[in-house]
Amino acid sequence: MRAPFFSERPPFAKGFEIVQFKHRRHGTPPARRLIGTAAGILGAGLLLSACDDLVGDAGKALSMAPDYRPQDAGTVDHALCLLGFSAVPLTHIVTGHHLVDATVNGTPARFVVDTGANISVIDSATAGDFDLEEAGGGLPSIPIPAVSIAGAGKAQQMRLDSMTVGGMPVRQSTIMVADLGALSQVLGPLSGGRLDGLIGQDLLDEHRAVIDVARPMLYMIAADQDPAPVAAEDCGAVSAPASPPSPADE
């Protein structure tokens, strides 16, 4: 069996990964940012593996959706709810990646959440399903060096009419389309179906994302303000249940 390959990046800590990005207001990123990052987005933290046993275990690789308990005072769910965050359950697969269901221009899609990718990308193999149009006045196709995990190719900026992540509308007016090649071939079967692309820092930054890696759960602020506090009654707070007694206390 060939050993999995990871690009260099700090390992995730067990528990919470707070995605702390410099906040930017929505809008098309500067051309120099897209050009400077397009070469790296396809390789950041994504697994390349041809392990037959992983693919064979695809049916066992999907995690159960975590419980969301904003009504229980003292929980992370409640604390983030008060700050205006909405919760989006993630699907954990055997490679350690997290997947999220989304829609692109009203069509269902599935993405891998990649905090190491500077921008979000749709795989060119499935881009035709989403009724995308080239962004007016956007960037020309950007060459991607052969060192990326998808090999040589081009990325093109496309316009989005609408996009949701876990049912939450997101402020994403453009997205890159590129050949994700081996990424989709490996993670697609492990996800229980095809993989349409990756969610990167542009979307996570815009919605002040917080990721609970251990559960796993993605939290994002829907409102265009930070924080966006809500009334306590809107989170339905009740007292957290008492912990069961330990055997030593009985």
Residue 129: pLDDT over 90: yes
| Residue 13 is assigned to a structural domain of this protein | no
Spatial CA neighbour of 122 closest among 143, 150, 90, 147: 150
pLDDT at 141: 57
pLDDT at 113: 95
| Residue 1 is assigned to a structural domain of this protein | no
Give the residue with greater pLDDT, 58 vs 64. Answer: 64
CATH number of 120's domain:
2.40.70.10
How many domains is the chain built from? Answer: 1
Strand partners, 108: 103
Instruction: Return d(Cα 145, Cα 154) in angstroms, integer.
Output: 9
- What average pLDDT does the structure give for the chain? 73
Mean pLDDT of 2-6: 37
pLDDT at 205: 95
pLDDT at 67: 86
| Residue 233 is assigned to a structural domain of this protein | no
Instruction: Return d(Cα 47, Cα 97) in angstroms, integer.
Output: 8
- Confidence bin at 177 (pLDDT 50/70/90): very high
pTM above threshold 0.75: no
Q: Across 10-19, 137-146, 185-194, 241-250, which has the greatest mean pLDDT?
A: 185-194
Instruction: Write b or e for each residue in 8-47: b if 16 or more Cβ atoms lie within 10 A of its Cβ, otherwise e.
Output: eeeeeeeeebebeeeeeeeebeeeeebeebbebbbbbbbb
pLDDT in tens, 7-38: 333 333 334 444 444 444 444 443 434 433 33
| Residue 234 is assigned to a structural domain of this protein | no
User: What is the distance of C-alpha 221 from the center of its chain?
Assistant: 14
pLDDT at 191: 75
- Confidence bin at 63 (pLDDT 50/70/90): low
| Residue 213 is assigned to a structural domain of this protein | yes
pLDDT in tens, 183-223: 888 888 887 778 999 999 999 999 999 999 989 999 999 99
| Residue 37 is assigned to a structural domain of this protein | yes
Evaluate the omega torsion of the peptide bond into residue 89 and state whether it is cis, within 30 degrees of 0.
Answer: no
Residue 41: pLDDT over 70: no
pLDDT in tens, 74-87: 999 999 999 999 99
| Residue 250 is assigned to a structural domain of this protein | no
Residue 68: pLDDT over 70: yes
Domain range for 85 is 21-47+59-226
**Non-local CB neighbours of 187 within 8 Å, separated by 6+ positions:** 46, 47, 93, 95, 97, 99, 112, 195
Spatial CA neighbour of 108 closest among 196, 203, 173: 196
The H or E element spanning position 34 is helix 31-38
Count of CB atoms situated within 10 Å of the CB of 49: 18
Q: Give the CA radius of gyration of the chain.
A: 19
Mean pLDDT of 33-59: 41
